Amino acid sequence: MVQSASASSAVIARVDRGPITESIHRGHIAVVNNEGRLLHSLGDPQAVTFARSTAKLIQALPVLESGAASDFGLSDQEIALICASHNGEPAHVQTARSLLAKAGADPGDLQCGAHFPFHRPTAKRMKEEGEAPTPLHNNCSGKHAGMLTLAAKLGQSADNYMSPDHPVQREMLLAVADMAGLAPEDIPLGTDGCGVPVFGLAIDRLALAYARLGKPYGLPAARTEACGRIIGAIRREPAYLAGEDRFDTQLIEATGGRIIGKMGAEGLFALTVPEESLGLVLKIEDGAQRALYCAVLEALNQLGLLRPSELKALAAFREPKVTNWRGTEVGVIRPDFRLS
């Protein structure tokens, strides 16, 4: 398993304050093609971690393959939201509500819990107006609505849809295992922040799953079609994967959908570049989100996968500023590694 300060990890980012490097973040990177060949790496490409929310795009596959998406007439926005860790903006909440209604469910069926939106203006307005958050505002409400949609298609009770033994969760485990080239019993399970099973994977296996998602060559027809629909929906509706101020959305917008990426909790990011038939996974060992996006951009830049105009559009994420309580810039977070 990934352990703090393991000997196999590598320096991935430094936090400078004035003339001193104050903190160092270590991590791992794996770049894999859709045949499973390791192309580039940093640290230990077989380091194991929980896939967290990066798994959402893979978990969406059974919703498409089962026919649930077509039977219930899911839109691109709704499919993207199933894959999302969304901001809880009004459009996200309304889309989650619409998705539930199409499956014959309602917000009371969601078991993901409630939290205030990630979107600060929305959260501020709600607090000022005394509006309490609901499960629809939970960043995982789209994923959970997708699970309820699959349960409806399978004719299964939604009462315990989060249980690892529920048919919905079994189908999702099978999809993750197959895309990662593993047997289901070889994937350790934990419990994610929203209560559903989460999958322990070596980062090169997760990278393989993303490479296959973007370029599903040799996969069965139903899976190939499902992969294409998921990638297409996110390309067309990137704001529903995260939100207006989020890196995931802005990466897709800046590259015109040429690169599709998804963050996960505890310093994890997975992406696919379909035209290059590759997947990339980056894990910050100590889970620090602050080091994540600059490191992702540096890896993409080293691989020659970002154009100058795209780097310019994403400049705010490239070397994040460290500020004090007055908002004065006092330091910078910068990537510091070289892919092998």
- Secondary structure percentages of the chain, helix, strand, coil, to 5: 45, 20, 35
Averaged pLDDT, 107-134: 97
- pLDDT tens track for 261-287: 999 999 999 999 999 999 999 999 999
> Does residue 3 fall inside a structural domain?
no
In a domain, 28, yes or no: yes
Average pLDDT, the chain: 96
Region 25-48 average pLDDT = 98
pLDDT for residue 5: 43
Q: Is the pLDDT of residue 84 over 70?
A: yes
Cβ contact 53:135 at 8 Å: no
Q: Is residue 62 part of a domain?
A: yes
Indicate whether 178 belongs to any domain. yes
| Cβ within 8 Å of residue 184, ≥6 positions away | 173, 174, 177
CATH number at residue 92: 3.40.710
- In a domain, residue 1? The reply is no
Task: Print the domain residue range for 105.
Answer: 10-335
Residue 49 lies in a domain: yes
What are the tokens at 275?
A: 């035209």
pLDDT for the residue 288? 96
* pLDDT of amino acid 6: 55
2 lies in some domain: no
- Residue 103 confidence class, pLDDT cut points 50, 70, 90: very high
**Domain membership flag for residue 98:** yes
Q: Which of 13, 61, 19 is nearest to 229 (CA)?
A: 61
Work out the percent of the chain whose per-residue pLDDT is above 90: 98
Write down the residue that tokens 């089962």 correspond to.
Answer: 66
Q: Given a cut of 50, is residue 98 above it in pLDDT?
A: yes
Alpha helices (runs of H) in 129-198, residue ranges in sequence order: 141-154, 167-180
Q: Domain total for the chain?
A: 1
Average pLDDT of 156-170? 97
| pLDDT score for 2 | 41
The predicted structure's pLDDT at residue 7: 62
Q: What is the pLDDT of residues 286-335, one digit of tens each?
A: 999 999 999 999 999 999 999 999 999 999 999 999 999 999 999 999 99
Cα–Cα distances (Å) from 247 to 78, 225, 255, 263, 297, in that order, read 20, 27, 12, 9, 10
Q: What is the pLDDT of residue 80?
A: 98
Cα(273)–Cα(211) distance, integer angstroms: 7
Q: How confident is the model at residue 18 (pLDDT cuts 50, 70, 90)?
A: very high
pLDDT at 65: 98
